[in-house]
Amino acid sequence: MSGPDNIGELIYVSWGGTGRGAALRAAYDQAADADQSLTYLAILDPPHFADLDTGFIKLVIDELEWLLNAHMLTVAEASYKQVETTRVIVRTGNVDDEVVQLAKASGAQSIVLGAPIAIGDTSVDELVAALRRHTGIAVTVADPDAPPLT
Protein backbone atom coordinates (compact mmCIF):
# COMPACT_ATOMS: atom_id res chain seq x y z
CA MET A 1 0.00 0.00 0.00
CA SER A 2 1.20 3.49 -0.75
CA GLY A 3 0.62 6.70 1.24
CA PRO A 4 -2.47 8.88 1.17
CA ASP A 5 -4.36 8.76 -2.16
CA ASN A 6 -1.86 6.14 -3.34
CA ILE A 7 0.68 8.70 -4.52
CA GLY A 8 4.29 8.64 -3.35
CA GLU A 9 4.90 9.85 0.16
CA LEU A 10 7.62 11.84 1.86
CA ILE A 11 7.88 11.53 5.63
CA TYR A 12 9.27 14.53 7.46
CA VAL A 13 10.44 13.44 10.90
CA SER A 14 11.19 15.54 13.95
CA TRP A 15 11.76 14.74 17.60
CA GLY A 16 12.72 16.80 20.61
CA GLY A 17 12.00 19.96 18.65
CA THR A 18 10.52 21.25 15.44
CA GLY A 19 13.88 21.35 13.76
CA ARG A 20 16.20 24.18 12.99
CA GLY A 21 16.57 26.25 9.87
CA ALA A 22 13.81 26.05 7.36
CA ALA A 23 13.65 22.28 7.60
CA LEU A 24 9.90 21.85 7.22
CA ARG A 25 9.77 24.31 4.33
CA ALA A 26 12.57 22.45 2.60
CA ALA A 27 10.72 19.17 3.07
CA TYR A 28 7.51 20.76 1.80
CA ASP A 29 9.21 22.01 -1.36
CA GLN A 30 10.93 18.66 -1.87
CA ALA A 31 7.57 16.85 -1.63
CA ALA A 32 5.99 19.35 -4.05
CA ASP A 33 8.84 18.95 -6.58
CA ALA A 34 8.54 15.14 -6.44
CA ASP A 35 4.73 15.31 -6.55
CA GLN A 36 4.52 13.38 -3.31
CA SER A 37 2.23 13.69 -0.32
CA LEU A 38 3.83 14.96 2.87
CA THR A 39 3.49 13.37 6.28
CA TYR A 40 4.85 15.25 9.26
CA LEU A 41 5.81 12.61 11.82
CA ALA A 42 6.54 14.13 15.23
CA ILE A 43 7.89 11.72 17.81
CA LEU A 44 7.74 12.24 21.55
CA ASP A 45 10.74 10.08 22.37
CA PRO A 46 11.38 8.50 25.78
CA PRO A 47 14.32 10.68 26.90
CA HIS A 48 12.07 13.74 26.87
CA PHE A 49 8.56 12.45 27.47
CA ALA A 50 8.70 9.06 29.21
CA ASP A 51 7.92 10.51 32.64
CA LEU A 52 4.44 11.76 31.75
CA ASP A 53 1.31 9.88 32.75
CA THR A 54 -0.98 8.43 30.10
CA GLY A 55 -3.77 10.99 30.44
CA PHE A 56 -1.45 13.94 30.20
CA ILE A 57 0.58 12.59 27.29
CA LYS A 58 -2.67 12.30 25.32
CA LEU A 59 -3.32 16.01 25.87
CA VAL A 60 0.26 16.81 24.87
CA ILE A 61 -0.19 14.78 21.68
CA ASP A 62 -3.50 16.56 20.90
CA GLU A 63 -2.02 20.00 21.42
CA LEU A 64 1.16 19.24 19.49
CA GLU A 65 -0.88 17.84 16.62
CA TRP A 66 -2.97 21.01 16.62
CA LEU A 67 0.11 23.22 16.58
CA LEU A 68 1.98 21.24 13.94
CA ASN A 69 -1.09 21.16 11.71
CA ALA A 70 -1.21 24.94 11.97
CA HIS A 71 2.53 25.09 11.28
CA MET A 72 2.15 22.87 8.22
CA LEU A 73 -0.72 25.02 6.90
CA THR A 74 1.36 28.15 7.50
CA VAL A 75 4.18 26.71 5.44
CA ALA A 76 1.76 25.57 2.71
CA GLU A 77 0.12 28.99 2.62
CA ALA A 78 3.46 30.72 2.23
CA SER A 79 4.95 28.42 -0.38
CA TYR A 80 4.74 29.02 -4.13
CA LYS A 81 4.60 25.27 -4.56
CA GLN A 82 1.75 22.96 -3.71
CA VAL A 83 1.63 19.57 -2.05
CA GLU A 84 -1.62 17.73 -2.78
CA THR A 85 -2.00 15.95 0.55
CA THR A 86 -0.45 16.75 3.91
CA ARG A 87 -1.01 15.20 7.32
CA VAL A 88 0.46 15.35 10.80
CA ILE A 89 1.03 12.29 12.96
CA VAL A 90 2.28 12.54 16.54
CA ARG A 91 3.52 9.33 18.14
CA THR A 92 5.29 8.31 21.30
CA GLY A 93 8.16 5.85 21.16
CA ASN A 94 11.69 5.39 19.89
CA VAL A 95 12.53 7.49 16.86
CA ASP A 96 13.92 4.67 14.69
CA ASP A 97 11.08 2.24 15.49
CA GLU A 98 8.33 4.76 14.76
CA VAL A 99 9.89 5.94 11.50
CA VAL A 100 10.44 2.42 10.20
CA GLN A 101 6.92 1.36 11.20
CA LEU A 102 5.26 4.31 9.47
CA ALA A 103 7.46 4.12 6.39
CA LYS A 104 6.63 0.43 5.90
CA ALA A 105 2.92 0.91 6.59
CA SER A 106 2.52 3.81 4.20
CA GLY A 107 4.98 2.66 1.53
CA ALA A 108 6.83 5.96 1.74
CA GLN A 109 9.41 6.80 -0.90
CA SER A 110 11.65 9.08 1.10
CA ILE A 111 12.37 10.23 4.62
CA VAL A 112 13.63 13.65 5.65
CA LEU A 113 14.97 14.12 9.16
CA GLY A 114 14.12 17.62 10.36
CA ALA A 115 15.63 17.55 13.82
CA PRO A 116 19.16 16.27 13.45
CA ILE A 117 19.70 15.67 17.15
CA ALA A 118 21.69 12.67 18.29
CA ILE A 119 19.68 10.12 20.26
CA GLY A 120 21.65 8.97 23.27
CA ASP A 121 24.81 7.33 21.97
CA THR A 122 23.46 7.06 18.42
CA SER A 123 24.75 9.79 16.11
CA VAL A 124 22.61 11.25 13.33
CA ASP A 125 24.76 9.50 10.70
CA GLU A 126 24.22 6.16 12.40
CA LEU A 127 20.48 6.84 12.58
CA VAL A 128 20.34 7.70 8.89
CA ALA A 129 22.24 4.50 8.00
CA ALA A 130 19.98 2.38 10.20
CA LEU A 131 16.81 3.87 8.71
CA ARG A 132 18.10 3.28 5.16
CA ARG A 133 18.92 -0.30 6.05
CA HIS A 134 15.52 -1.02 7.60
CA THR A 135 13.30 0.81 5.10
CA GLY A 136 15.31 0.54 1.88
CA ILE A 137 14.35 4.09 0.87
CA ALA A 138 16.17 7.43 0.65
CA VAL A 139 16.85 9.07 4.01
CA THR A 140 18.23 12.61 4.17
CA VAL A 141 18.68 15.35 6.72
CA ALA A 142 16.66 18.49 5.93
CA ASP A 143 18.48 21.36 4.29
CA PRO A 144 18.80 24.05 6.94
CA ASP A 145 19.49 26.72 4.30
CA ALA A 146 16.22 26.36 2.42
CA PRO A 147 14.63 29.56 1.04
CA PRO A 148 12.66 31.74 3.46
CA LEU A 149 8.90 32.13 3.73
CA THR A 150 7.47 34.56 1.23
Partner 1 sequence: MNLLAAEAGSNFLEQELSVVVLLAVAAAMAIVVKRIKVPYTVALVLVGLAFAFFPNFVDIDFSAELILGLLIPPLLFEATLHIPWPKLKADLVPILIFAIGGTMLGTFAVGWIVWWLVGVPWLAAVAFGALISATDPVAVIAFFKSLGVTKRLSVLVEGESLFNDAVAFVAFTLAVSAAAPGESFGIGNAIGDFLIVGGGGLAVGIVLGWFVSEVVLARVDDALIETTTSLALAYGSFLVAEEFGLIFNIEDLHFSGILAVVAAGLMVGNIGLRNTSPTTRITLEYFWAVLTFLVNSLVFLVIGLKINLREIDIAENILNVAIAIGAILLTRLVIVYGFGAIHARVQPSRRVPTSFRHVMYWGGLRGAISLALALLLEESDFAPDVVDTLLVMTFGVVLFTLLIQGTTISGLIERLGLSGQQANQRHQQEIQARIYSRRAGAAEIQRLGSEGVLFSSMAKAMQSNYNEEVAEARNELAEHFSTHPELEITMLLQARRDALVAEQSAIGEMVRSGFVSTDVGHDLTVELNNRMAALDLIEERWETDVTPPGELDNS
CA geometry: angle at 148 spanning 10 and 23, to 5°?
35
Site for partner 1 contains 52 (CB under 8 A):
yes
Site for partner 1 contains 50 (CB under 8 A):
yes
Which residue, 20 or 81, has its beta carbon nearer to partner 1?
A: 20
In the complex, minimum distance from the CB of residue 102 to partner 1, in angstroms, rounded to a whole number: 19
Count of residues that interact with partner 1, criterion CB under 8 A: 36
Which residue, 22 or 32, has its beta carbon nearer to partner 1?
A: 22
Which residue, 71 or 87, has its beta carbon nearer to partner 1?
A: 71
